[in-house]
Amino acid sequence: MMWSGFAVFRRSAYPARVTSLAPIGQRDRVCSPGQIVRTLVLFALFCAGLMVASVHARAQEAAPVSEAQFRAFVSNLWPDARKAGVSRATFDAALGGLTPDASVITITGKQSEFVKPIWHYINGAVSKQRLERGDARAKEFEKTLARIESKHGVDRYVVLAVWGMETNYGGFSGKLSTVRSLATLAASGYRGTFFRDELIVALQILEQGHIEPENMLGSWAGAMGQTQFMPSSFMKYAVDWDGDGHKNIWTSATDALASTANYLAEHGWIRDWTWGYEVLLPQGFSLLKYEPNVERHFTEWARAGVKIADGSTMPKTGEATLILPAGKHGPAFLVTKNFQTIKAYNTSTAYALGVALLSDRLAGTDGLVGKWPVQERMPDAEQSLEIQKHLVRIGYDIGKLDGKIGEKAQSAIRQFQRKAGLEPDGFANLALLERLRRAN
C-alpha cells in the first residue's frame, strides 16, 4: 500500500493568527475562584498541547546518519537477520558496500505548506488521463481481472482502481532501493524499530528469491512495487498469480493485481457487495438527527428521504454510513463496510473515496451528481493546526496535533458544532476556524 503515514507538517507551535483579547475589565467583570481555576487548567492543557505539537514535529524528522553509524548499524543487524533465516550471502548481497541515502532523511523533514481540498484530490483521482489509461489496462487484463474477481471475490474495478491510484497502473512504482531506504531510516532510529523490522522482512523476501536486491525498488519509506506493499504486507498478502515461482509485485502486473485483491479480501471485502453510493439528501434533512459516521440500515436511510443519486433503488438489506467529505454543501455518500476495507489499504477517507469513485467510472458509470463547494475558503496546514489546537483547548480529543484533520478531529468538530447549535457536518473550513477563535 502507498505508505502515507509519514506526511510531515513541520510548523510553528503557535497559531498563524491570534484573536486579540479585550481588556479584562471589558470581558469578565466578576470572576469566581472556580472560574479562575478552570481558566488556568484549560490554559495549562492548551500549552501542553502546543508543547506536544512542537515535540511531535521534531520527532518526525529523521536524524542524519553518518557512514560510520550506518556501518555499525548493519553490523549489529546481522545476528537478528540470521535468526530470521537470512543467509550471510543474501545479507551481504543486499547490504554489503551500501551507504545511507541522505535524500531519504531530507524527505522526512519536508514541511507541507498547503492542505489540498478533497475536491482537488478527487479530481486528480478521476482525471481524464487516469481514466483513459485505466480503460486501456482493463481491456489488456480483462480475462485476468475476471479470474481474480472470481477467486478472491473483490470487484475487479476496485482492484484496478487501487492499482491506478497507487502507481498509475504500474506506470511508476518508485526508483529507490527498498533495502537502502529502510536501512537508512532504521539506522537513524526513525519511528522506533518499525523500519528495522521491515528491513529484516525485506531480507527474508530476498532470501526466498522473489526479487534481486537491485530490482527491489519502491518509495522512500519502503513501499514496494506496483502494489506499494511494505515488506510485512508482502509476506502476508503477495500472490504468485502467473505461477513462475516468484511473488513479483514489481514487474508482473498479474501478480500485483492478484496481490491487491488478496489484500482486500483478507481485510474483509464482502463478495458481491458495493462500496457504497453517492446519494441526494432531501430538503430540510437534519444532520442533528442523522449525524454523519453513524451506521444505519439502508431502509432507515430510505425512510429519511435519502435517494441514490443515479436513480437506482436503495438496497433492502445491509447497513451504510453517511459521509460528507466536503460538508453539508458538497456531495453526500452512503458507504458500506467495503469502503472501510479500502481504508485498510490507506486510512485516508479521501484516498478510499478516490478509489471508490475511480472504480465506478472505470465500470462505466457517470460522474458525480453533487457539486463540490469550490467557493469554500479552506485552511492551509498552519490554520488546520490552529483548528486542532482550539479544539484541544476546549477539551476535545483530536488525536495527534499535526495539522491534518483526520477522523478524530472531524468527530471533535461535530461535537463542537452540535454544542454550538450548528449542523454537525464535521467540515473544517475557515468559517469553522473563525467560530473557534470566537469560542476561545
User: HSE of 32 in the Cβ direction (CA atoms, 13 Å)?
Assistant: 3
Per-residue pLDDT tens for 114-169?
Answer: 578 999 999 999 999 999 999 999 999 999 999 999 999 999 999 999 999 999 99
Q: What is the pLDDT of residue 111?
A: 58
Q: Which of 269, 315, 313, 309 is nearest to 296 (CA)?
A: 315
Instruction: For CA atoms 230, 253, 164, 333, give the dihedral sign.
Output: negative
Percent over 70 (pLDDT), the chain: 85
Which uninterrupted H or E stretch holds 24? helix 24-27
165 neighbors 355 (Cβ within 8 angstroms): yes
**Per the structure block, which three cell numbers stand in for 430?**
475557515
For the stretch 390-428, pLDDT in tens is: 999 999 999 989 899 999 999 999 999 999 999 999 999
CATH superfamily of 67-110+172-251: Bacterial muramidase (1.10.8.350)
d(CA 432, CA 413): 9
C-alpha cell at 359: 472504480
Give residue 1's pLDDT: 53
Q: What is the pLDDT of residues 286-321, one digit of tens each?
A: 999 999 999 999 999 999 999 999 999 999 999 999
Q: What does the mean pLDDT of the chain come to?
A: 88
Segment 330-356 shows an average pLDDT of 97
224 phi and psi angles, rounded to 5 deg: -115, 145
Distance of alpha carbon 268 from alpha carbon 233, whole angstroms:
15
Delimit the domains of the chain by residue range. Answer: 67-110+172-251
SS3 406: coil
Beta strands in 199-312, from DSSP E residues, in sequence order: 217-218, 276-280, 295-297, 307-308
Q: Any idea what the Cα angle at residue 385 is, between residues 384 and 391, rounded to 5°?
A: 95
User: Which of 259, 274, 225, 215 shows the shortest CA–CA distance to 94?
Assistant: 215
HSE-CB at 339 with a 13 A cutoff on CA atoms is: 25
- Nine-digit cell string for 384: 488546520
- Residues forming a β-bridge with 128: none
- In the prediction, which pLDDT does 6 show? 33
Residue with cell 459516521: 293
Which secondary structure element, helix H or strand E, spans residue 333, and what is its range? strand 332-335
